[in-house]
Structure 1
Amino acid sequence: MSTANAGMLFVFGFFFLIAAIVIASMFVWATTKKAQASAAREANYRELAEKAGMDSAEIKASLIEVKSRLVSVERMLKEVG
């Protein structure tokens, strides 16, 4: 193998190594971004679930209040009638 061929082989090998590093870096970067987006989406779902739980508790309290008022009205109607 001549010196020119060895030099050319070294340059191609070097460029191949650089390309492999760049491709691997891009893959790691894309995976990281995907994981960050997934974490943000899960946080949003968790927040939405907490709000739904609070809303459910408020609705339950309102229904209990309405029920007690209805019982009171029924009692008044029975007393009048």
Structure 2
Amino acid sequence: MSPTGRQKALQRHGLTETPEGLDVTWQGFQRAAKRALELRDAGSEEAARMVALSPDHPLRWEYARCIQIEAFTNEMSDTGF
């Protein structure tokens, strides 16, 4: 995958690169919240705990960041990057 393709994938997943690593954007948080609801409905206790937190809770944002990083990493693996 080209650097441009990688950047587009980051944007698709709502992630930005910072000097400390990847961070989640508001769009990424919203996508992750939807995924967390799906995981909760599938029986994930961790997702249920995270969804129960207020949207401004730092742990909920960290969980969202992790969900989006996992999705991004899976896409990169699928493309052989």
* Global fold match (TM > 0.5): no
Larger relative contact order, structure 1 or 2 (CA cutoff 8 Å, min sep 6) = 2
- Structure with the bigger percentage of strand: 2
Q: Please report the TM-score for the alignment, with normalisation by the length of structure 1.
A: 0.30
- Structure with the bigger percentage of helix: 1
Q: Please report the TM-score for the alignment, with normalisation by the length of structure 2.
A: 0.30
Structure exhibiting the larger radius of gyration computed from Cα positions: 1
